[in-house]
């Protein structure tokens, strides 16, 4: 009997404490709403439920680890101060993850949720292994409810292939023809800005859809994050996960955006594993190789590097010319070869800018009905050309390259031919061709009066080595970036 009464007292006391806390909490909520605004309050704070008070500490619960971390970072101190102002005995606020009790309405203030302590929200079980190609044919679809639409211009037919991108192109083709082939899942495409990563991803998507039977979802990593946050806010994370895990091919662009976004990385990691385990294809792009994406969790970097990693190098003059020729031909406007050469020499940064310059020229020609000439080009594009005036000198290039390979600067001009000095010299010639507007004979003169054919040989040799040896290619790329900034 006594025990029963004690139990009753304890329950009554706990209930009384809950009601008192609920009154304080509703006042605090009003203050918070006034301080942060209705929208922010509803997004982040409404889902807080009040837990017990022990000594000078009150526990508040949030439904997910993501929300808990966010609220702790953004509002932790403020919550502490408001509770202390309301109940002076409370000096500390502890934020914990807990799912609300099944019956309680979201945000119900007297709900006593089931704490999950430090464990993250439970992930849905990975789907059972499924065949690579869906057995019962269904309509090919791009999951536009879930992802971004594909750009119709970005196909394999409109992608111009040259040395810097031929490997990435071949890998992309292979994935489009046989998704989830061993060794090609995930396909990780990386390279500098505006070099065609997105174009290749869309081309894969378009090709797969043409073949039917698959569902494809493409989205930027940024969109992935916002979709994920949106799902948390609307308490529909399970639907979000299910949607993502139901596609045959998932493509995530610009993965570097997830650096520092730990919760989204976690989510992506689980999605990634569930899809790959189920035999679905993943394609990812980023500005660096998996090993260089410091800031991504190690386990994610390791998995990203497990399939095929393909680099898109900076464009060569030849590739720039081919791209310009193809785009000019498609426009129907006659652009003289010397104008194309001029542009390919001047605008070396990336294909997006090159394309932008050509489009401006073409629009100008169409609007005013005047032929495209070199003079008109200089006039119409004067701002772009000014911004692209190369400031790098051959002397700077020689110095940086010599430092990088630890050779003497004088070996750039000397007659010595050993590989240890010849290779850096060839790299410097290659970079001089890439980063300055000097001709082969001019470059030759700067390298101890060498003949222009020696320079041409050096440039070709470096291009060949870059195609064969990724480590060497990365070295050269690094030098190039250092010189350009
Ligand atoms: N080899 C190519 N052939 C034809 N067009 C190309 C090629 N490479 C890039 N482009 C064009 O250049 C533009 C920029 O390419 P894209 O958006 O694919 O670059 P990205 O590498 O994804 O850049 P970012 O890192 O900024 O996302 C697009 O219009 C694309 O069609």
What are 52-80's pLDDT values in tens digits? Answer: 888 888 999 888 777 787 788 778 888 98
pLDDT for 469 beyond 50: yes
Most confident of 22-36, 191-205, 426-440: 191-205
Retrieve residue 409's tokens: 């600067």
Q: Closest residue (by CA) to atom 29 of ligand 1? A: 352
Q: Closest residue (by CA) to atom 23 of ligand 1? A: 194
Q: Which of 125-139, 176-190, 450-464, 468-482 has the lowest mean pLDDT?
A: 125-139
pLDDT at 217: 92
pLDDT for 484 beyond 80: no
pLDDT at 127: 28
Retrieve residue 262's tokens: 């730990």
Q: How far does residue 159's CA lie from ligand 1's centre (Å)? A: 9
In the chain, what is the greatest distance between 2 CA atoms, to the nearest angstrom? 107
> Is 198 assigned to a binding site?
yes
Q: How far does residue 307's CA lie from ligand 1's centre (Å)? A: 23
> Is 315 assigned to a binding site?
no
What average pLDDT does range 176-180 have in this prediction? 93
Q: How far does residue 197's CA lie from ligand 1's centre (Å)? A: 6
User: What percent of the chain is modeled with pLDDT above 70?
Assistant: 84
CB 473 within 8 A of CB 311: yes
Which homologous superfamily is 394-484 in?
A: DnaA protein, C-terminal DNA-binding domain (1.10.1750.10)
Ligand 1 atom with least separation from CA of 162 = 1
Nearest in space to 49 (alpha carbons), one of 101, 118, 14, 119: 101
| CA–CA gap between residue 426 and residue 415 (Å, rounded) | 13
Q: Is the CB of 254 under 6 A from ligand 1?
A: yes
| CA–CA gap between residue 225 and residue 247 (Å, rounded) | 18
Q: Closest residue (by CA) to atom 5 of ligand 1? A: 159
Please give the CATH number for the structural domain made up of 317-387: 1.10.8.60
Task: Count, in order, helices (H) and strands (E) of the chain.
Answer: 19, 10
Q: How confident is the model at residue 27 (pLDDT cuts 50, 70, 90)?
A: confident
Collect all residues with Cβ–Cβ distance below 8 Å to 475 and sequence separation of at least 6: 404
pLDDT for 188 beyond 80: yes
Q: How confident is the model at residue 13 (pLDDT cuts 50, 70, 90)?
A: low
CB 425 within 8 A of CB 412: yes
pLDDT at 142: 58
CA 130 to chain centre: 28
Nearest in space to 256 (alpha carbons), one of 298, 292, 287, 291: 287
Q: Is the CB of 352 under 6 A from ligand 1?
A: yes
Q: How confident is the model at residue 242 (pLDDT cuts 50, 70, 90)?
A: confident
Strands 187-191, 249-253: pairing is unpaired
50: β partners: 60
pLDDT for 390 beyond 90: no
Residue count of the chain, please give it: 485
DSSP class of 155 = S
Q: How far does residue 352's CA lie from ligand 1's centre (Å)? A: 6
Domain range annotation of the chain: 13-115, 141-312, 317-387, 394-484
Q: How far does residue 196's CA lie from ligand 1's centre (Å)? A: 3
What average pLDDT does range 204-212 have in this prediction? 90
Please say whether the structural domain 141-312 has been given the CATH code 3.50.50.60.
Answer: no
pLDDT for 215 beyond 60: yes
pLDDT tens digit sequence for 116-166 = 333 332 222 222 222 222 222 344 565 555 666 788 999 999 999 999 999
Q: How far does residue 22's CA lie from ligand 1's centre (Å)? A: 56
Strands 92-99, 114-115: pairing is antiparallel
Q: Is the CB of 199 under 6 A from ligand 1?
A: yes
Nearest in space to 213 (alpha carbons), one of 147, 154, 307, 130: 130
Q: How far does residue 198's CA lie from ligand 1's centre (Å)? A: 6
pLDDT tens digit sequence for 322-368 = 999 999 999 999 999 999 999 998 898 889 999 999 999 999 999 88
pLDDT at 99: 54
Retrieve residue 335's tokens: 């652009």
pLDDT tens digit sequence for 254-279 = 999 999 898 899 999 999 999 999 99
pLDDT for 380 beyond 50: yes
pTM comes to 0.58
pLDDT for 109 beyond 70: no
Q: How far does residue 193's CA lie from ligand 1's centre (Å)? A: 8
Ligand 1 atom with least separation from CA of 191 = 21
pLDDT at 141: 60
Residue 234, classified by CB atoms within 10 Å of its CB into exposed (0-12), middle (13-18) or buried (19+), is exposed
Q: How confident is the model at residue 439 (pLDDT cuts 50, 70, 90)?
A: confident
Ligand 1 atom with least separation from CA of 158 = 4
Ligand 1 atom with least separation from CA of 202 = 18
Strands in 239-339 per DSSP E: 249-253, 281-286, 308-312
Query: What mean pLDDT value characterizes the chain?
Result: 83
Burial letters for 345-359: b for 16+ Cβ neighbours within 10 Å, e otherwise? bbbbbbbebbeebbe
pLDDT for 389 beyond 70: no
DSSP class of 247 = -
Q: Is the CB of 196 under 6 A from ligand 1?
A: yes
**The listed CATH number (3.40.50.880, 3.30.300.180, 3.40.50.720, 3.90.1150.10) that belongs to domain 13-115:** 3.30.300.180
| CA–CA gap between residue 55 and residue 57 (Å, rounded) | 6
**3-class DSSP state for residue 449?**
coil
pLDDT for 107 beyond 70: no
Q: Is the CB of 204 under 6 A from ligand 1?
A: no
Q: Is the CB of 164 under 6 A from ligand 1?
A: no
pLDDT for 12 beyond 60: no
CA dist list (Å): 164 to 205, 311, 319, 463: 22, 8, 8, 9
pLDDT for 470 beyond 80: yes
Q: Is the CB of 311 under 6 A from ligand 1?
A: no
Q: How far does residue 288's CA lie from ligand 1's centre (Å)? A: 16
What average pLDDT does range 284-308 have in this prediction? 92
| CA–CA gap between residue 369 and residue 398 (Å, rounded) | 46
Q: Is the CB of 330 under 6 A from ligand 1?
A: no
What average pLDDT does range 460-469 have in this prediction? 93
Q: Is the CB of 154 under 6 A from ligand 1?
A: yes
Collect all residues with Cβ–Cβ distance below 8 Å to 390 and sequence separation of at least 6: 348, 435, 436, 437
Q: How confident is the model at residue 475 (pLDDT cuts 50, 70, 90)?
A: confident
Q: Is the CB of 193 under 6 A from ligand 1?
A: yes
């Amino acid at each position: 009997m006594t025990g029963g009464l004690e139990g009753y007292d304890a329950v009554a006391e706990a209930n009384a404490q809950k009601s008192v806390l609920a009154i304080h909490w509703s006042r605090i909520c009003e203050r918070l709403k006034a301080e942060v605004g209705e929208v922010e309050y509803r997004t982040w704070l409404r889902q807080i439920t009040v837990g017990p008070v022990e000594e000078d500490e009150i526990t508040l619960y949030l439904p997910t680890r993501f929300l808990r971390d966010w609220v702790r970072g953004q509002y932790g101190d403020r919550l502490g101060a408001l509770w202390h102002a309301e109940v002076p005995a409370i000096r500390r606020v502890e934020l914990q993850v807990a799912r609300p009790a099944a019956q309680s309405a979201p945000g119900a203030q007297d709900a006593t949720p089931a704490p999950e302590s430090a464990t993250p929200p439970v992930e849905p079980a990975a789907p059972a292994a499924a065949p690579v190609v869906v057995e019962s044919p269904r309509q090919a679809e791009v999951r536009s409810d879930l992802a971004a639409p594909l750009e119709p211009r970005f196909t394999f037919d409109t992608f111009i292939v040259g040395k810097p991108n031929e490997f990435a192109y071949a890998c992309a083709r292979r994935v489009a023809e046989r998704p989830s082939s061993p060794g090609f899942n995930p396909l990780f495409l990386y390279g500098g800005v505006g070099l065609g990563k997105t174009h290749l991803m869309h081309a894969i998507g378009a090709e797969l859809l043409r073949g039917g039977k698959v569902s494809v979802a493409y989205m930027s990593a940024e969109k992935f994050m916002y979709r994920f946050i949106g799902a948390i806010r609307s308490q529909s994370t399970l639907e979000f996960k299910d949607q993502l895990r139901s596609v045959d091919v998932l493509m995530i662009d610009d993965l570097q955006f997830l650096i520092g976004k730990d919760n989204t990385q976690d989510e992506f990691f689980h999605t990634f594993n569930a899809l790959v385990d189920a035999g679905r294809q993943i394609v990812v792009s980023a500005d660096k190789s998996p090993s260089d994406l410091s800031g991504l969790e190690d386990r994610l970097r390791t998995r990203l590097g497990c399939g095929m990693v393909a680099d898109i190098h900076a464009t060569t003059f030849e590739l720039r010319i081919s791209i310009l020729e193809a785009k000019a031909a498609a426009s129907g406007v006659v652009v003289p070869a010397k104008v194309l050469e001029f542009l390919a020499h001047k605008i070396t940064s990336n294909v997006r800018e090159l394309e932008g310059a050509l489009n401006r020229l073409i629009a100008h020609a169409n609007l005013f009905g005047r032929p495209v000439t070199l003079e008109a080009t200089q006039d119409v594009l004067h701002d772009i050309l000014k911004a692209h005036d190369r400031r790098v000198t051959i002397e700077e290039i020689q110095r940086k390259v010599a430092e990088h390979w630890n050779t003497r600067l004088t070996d750039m001009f000397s007659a010595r031919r050993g590989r240890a000095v010849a290779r850096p010299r060839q790299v410097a010639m290659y970079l001089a061709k890439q980063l300055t507007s000097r001709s082969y004979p001019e470059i030759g003169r700067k390298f101890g009066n060498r003949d222009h054919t020696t320079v041409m040989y050096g440039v070709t040799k470096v291009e060949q080595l870059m195609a064969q040896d990724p480590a060497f290619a990365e070295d050269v790329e690094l030098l190039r970036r250092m010189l350009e900034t």
